[in-house]
Amino acid sequence: MKAELTWQEAKAHTQAMQLEIAALIPKDAVILIDQKKKGVLLSCNKTQHNWNASTTLTVAEGTELEPIVGAIEAHYRANGAKVSVDRNVDENYRIQIDPPAPGESYIVSEGLSPNEIRIASGSACFTLPEGVYPGGDF
């Protein structure tokens, strides 16, 4: 990512990465991909923000989710990405992929329903143009 990243570029890159991760899920298991068109900005530091949103995949009932999340973990580890693993509050297997760009991360886990995989993400950090209020939808 270049140093002078715009929020639009950060959003586009992050959405593309969400779909790259989604493409690793077996096609025959995927029923629906719901990528949020808008997200929110969160502070990285005093002067920078990152764009945050999610993509939720509905998979066929009975699909085992943990092996799919594990395969995504293995893919990114094999390609040299920093990946951490834990369990969320519901004890579901969860991975976090952290590219080198400050602020950028992707969390892949079971979703709110038993047949969902959620990809929550934050873009690389960027500086908003002067006068742009960081609240609201982006």
Model confidence band, residue 3 (pLDDT cutoffs 50, 70, 90) = low
pLDDT in tens, 14-47: 999 999 999 999 999 999 999 999 999 999 999 9
Q: How far apart are CA 36 and CA 127, in angstroms?
A: 22
Give the whole-number percent of the chain exceeding pLDDT 70.
98
Q: Give pTM, 2 decimals.
A: 0.93
CB-based contact 22:16 (threshold 8 Å): no
Q: Is the pLDDT of residue 111 over 90?
A: no
What mean pLDDT is reported for the chain? 94
